[in-house]
Structure 1
Amino acid sequence: MIYLYYSDRFSEYNFGPHHPLRPVRLALAYRLMEDYGLLDEGDVQVVEPPLASELELLSVHTPEYLEAVRSEMPNILFGLGIGDNPVFEGIYDASRLVAGGSIDAARRIAEEGCVAFNFAGGLHHAMPDRASGFCIFNDPALAIRTLRRKFGRVLYIDIDAHHGDGVQKVFYDDPRVLTVSIHESGRHLFPGTGFVDELGEETGFGYSVNIPLPPGSGDREYERAFEAIVPPLFEAFRPEVVVSQLGADAHYADPLADLNLTLSGYGRLVSRIGELKDQYAEGRLLALGGGGYNLGVVPVSWAAALQIMKGEEVREYLPPFWAELFKNEVGGSPLCPPDRGPVNEVQEDGGRRRRISEDLDRTLGDLRARLAEVHPRFRIIDR
């Protein structure tokens, strides 16, 4: 069984009409899943998310921060009301709803050993005492805290274009949670972190792994980086459950990053995560949404992810009714799968492609050497 978390109330997590994180992307994703018939076959159960309780939120966030969010007042100290994180009416409950979905999904996985997907979640930048990067409460970290009550080893893997810095921060000294983030290098992109030398601290040293990609990296680079590092980490750590943040902003059409992943490449990454959780974690997976700021890309990406979780081929068409809905809500045309990519300047420019490949080679070599040194369980060898 796959538990899919959705509520029309997710639209209340809304920073305003000019903010890049537009809640319509969630409604469009859900309607596309419906129109594909993905929710009609008995193997997907739609769940209305509950509100996270204050006690649950306190497992990650400080009491002072919760009070600041609850007050709905700008507060620079807590990252509220500035830049990325404007305060809006109802921000506390809207954020609790997203967090509650991920917490409840984690609880179901602990009880049933299943797969769950909260595509409104994945708000991986929020810190224990500060909002950051469109994220108020860190639902991945809250879900991992819930899973840790039953499981001794949790692996978190993040394929969002941006480094999963908030999740890394929460578990930086915890050897029971292995965090892995593949993202555009922080030298070029928010939040400016996620380098290979960020390996954890104290007993958690070696349990934080970052794979920063050079700008312009596409399917080949993402897949090469993934295969070089991630399967050996699964084999060494042998997680009992996997939490995966499936941000769609590494796509070549996303306006807030400079990566070149296609929908086909994205689907292969989702498939590989699924294969590895079957091999090592008895099929237990909590999938979360995350970033994605091109409205023609995000719904199709997450609908494709659900198809892959169901063991189906990704449909190579868009339902006409949904395409019309998209046109009315957004305007223009959405991405049509399988989207194997445009002929763009990176693919045409052999010199730039070579520089990207050489940069990635250096990064992977450095990371493998560091992992081999810090902990024998994480010895990474070329295969």
Structure 2
Amino acid sequence: MKPLYVYNDELLKYRFNDTHPFNQMRLKLTTDLLTDAGFLNDVDIIKPRIATDEELSLVHSPDYIEAVRAAGQDKLSAEELAKYGLDSEDTPSFKNMHEKCAALVGATLTAVDLVMSDETDKALSLAGGLHHGFSGKASGFCVYNDTAIACEYIAQKYGKKVLYIDTDAHHGDGVQWTFYNRNDILTYSIHETGRYLFPGTGSATERGIEEGFGYTVNLPIDAFTEDESFLEVFKTSLEGVIQSFEPDVILSQNGVDAHFRDPMTHLSLTSKSYEEIPRFVREMADKYTAGKWIAVGGGGYNIWQVVPRMWSQIWLAMKQIDAPSGYLPEEFIDKYKEQCKVDFPVLWEDTLEDFTEIPRRVEISEKNKSTLERIIMYLEQ
């Protein structure tokens, strides 16, 4: 079965304001890059549906959904905006917020249904990945938590066990806490330690409670972690988790803000990691979940130099295409180079002239290895 790509231009309308770092123009850039390179065609693209209030309420409280709807119509008081997290610098309210957020959730659920109804075994919806939203409060650029909704939707509608994989630089807190006492949805998050980074959670000792104890797995890695250490921790721990949990389907969140050029985090990954991450997830899906893999986007705030090239690798992995090298398509460069206010990348792979040498490389790698060993010990218990 050929993979499918969920997209339309309506998904670009999830936009807080013109200066906010969360900029969905990255969706169009990625889609255009794949199209101009000949890797994405009209027959691959599925138009998303809009999530219903009932689907949103799988995770979010009815009063919160109504608050989001009212805030999008400028009908919520300042006190209520603050109560629901809709007045912060990170997550301010915007016009027609409910409708635009429901469209984003609907895109993720479209990808879920394509895979779970066997229309395909792999589907990508880059508009999703908003993993910080809580049941009754917006947080960290996220209003509705499409990833948590998707996990609950799979569990309820299809009765399947879900492995949620989160490789965003920020801990997937909203998803973790939603399922912290559950044993049918395992949340796995590898992220920069919360010592200096939002949301400050995601320690290795956060393992779940009650029936969910052991079904939360966190790999907090040190600031300035580079490719080799990240990939060792990721690959070794993830396969152990899969073997232990035996999921029916994988849902992966693919934030690319751990890249060394991302302005909002302190990790030092390059295109090497973003070539390998989705290809390893595909390998795991083909080996352990009969190929069933749903992927969404996530963080990524350097929309010119990082996101389009890194996110493209997810689709290429789904299609079993090796990571390309050399020049990006001329049509793509001509279309966007003049709009870019920074040095426009012209190659698929990173050039590393601006990569800063890390003086604590050995110490950082040893610290990450110690975290990995602790997680392996937990898995063996």
Confirm or deny: 8 A CA contact 2:240 2:376 kept in the other structure: no
Residue in 1 that maps onto 2:151: 144
Structure 2 counterpart SS, 1:50? coil
Query: Post-superposition, which runs of at least 4 consecutive aligned residues in structure 1 deviate over 6 A?
Result: none
1:166-245 pair list within 5 angstroms: 166-245=174-253
The match for 1:327 among 319, 322, 337 is 337
Structure 2 counterpart SS, 1:56? helix
Confirm or deny: 8 A CA contact 1:15 1:86 kept in the other structure: yes
Structure 1 counterpart SS, 2:44? strand
Matched, 1:94 2:100: yes
Tell me the CA shift for residue 147 of structure 1: 1.5
Question: What is the TM-score of this pair, normalised by structure 1?
Answer: 0.92
Residue in 2 that maps onto 1:305: 314
Residue in 1 that maps onto 2:109: 103
Confirm or deny: 8 A CA contact 2:260 2:355 kept in the other structure: no
Confirm or deny: 8 A CA contact 1:297 1:334 kept in the other structure: no
Tell me the CA shift for residue 321 of structure 1: 1.8
Matched, 1:281 2:289: yes
Cα RMSD after superposing both structures: 1.5
d(CA) in 1 for partners of 2:208 and 2:344?
A: 40
Aligned residue pair count? 368
Structure 2 counterpart SS, 1:174? coil
Confirm or deny: 8 A CA contact 1:117 1:288 kept in the other structure: yes
Residue in 2 that maps onto 1:380: none
Q: Which amino acid aligns with 1:228?
A: T
Matched-pair identity in %: 37
Q: Which amino acid aligns with 1:322?
A: F
The match for 2:357 among 339, 343, 346 is 346
Residue in 2 that maps onto 1:67: 66
Tell me the CA shift for residue 194 of structure 1: 0.4
Q: Which amino acid aligns with 1:167?
A: V
Structure 1 counterpart SS, 2:349? coil
- Tell me whether 283-292 or 18-27 shows the greater mean CA deviation: 18-27
- Tell me whether 142-151 or 159-168 shows the greater mean CA deviation: 142-151
Cα 1:231–1:156, aligned 2, differ >3 Å: closer, same or farther?
Answer: same
Residue in 2 that maps onto 1:52: 51
d(CA) in 1 for partners of 2:213 and 2:272?
A: 35
Confirm or deny: 8 A CA contact 1:160 1:290 kept in the other structure: yes
Tell me the CA shift for residue 169 of structure 1: 1.0
The match for 1:81 among 58, 67, 87 is 87
Residue in 2 that maps onto 1:123: 130
d(CA) in 2 for partners of 1:22 and 1:309?
A: 25
Unaligned 5+ runs, structure 1: 374-383
Confirm or deny: 8 A CA contact 1:125 1:165 kept in the other structure: yes
d(CA) in 1 for partners of 2:369 and 2:322?
A: 32
Unaligned 5+ runs, structure 2: none
Residue in 1 that maps onto 2:8: 7
Structure 2 counterpart SS, 1:292? coil
Structure 2 counterpart SS, 1:346? coil
- Tell me whether 243-252 or 361-370 shows the greater mean CA deviation: 361-370
d(CA) in 1 for partners of 2:248 and 2:357?
A: 39
d(CA) in 2 for partners of 1:306 and 1:158?
A: 17
Tell me the CA shift for residue 39 of structure 1: 2.0
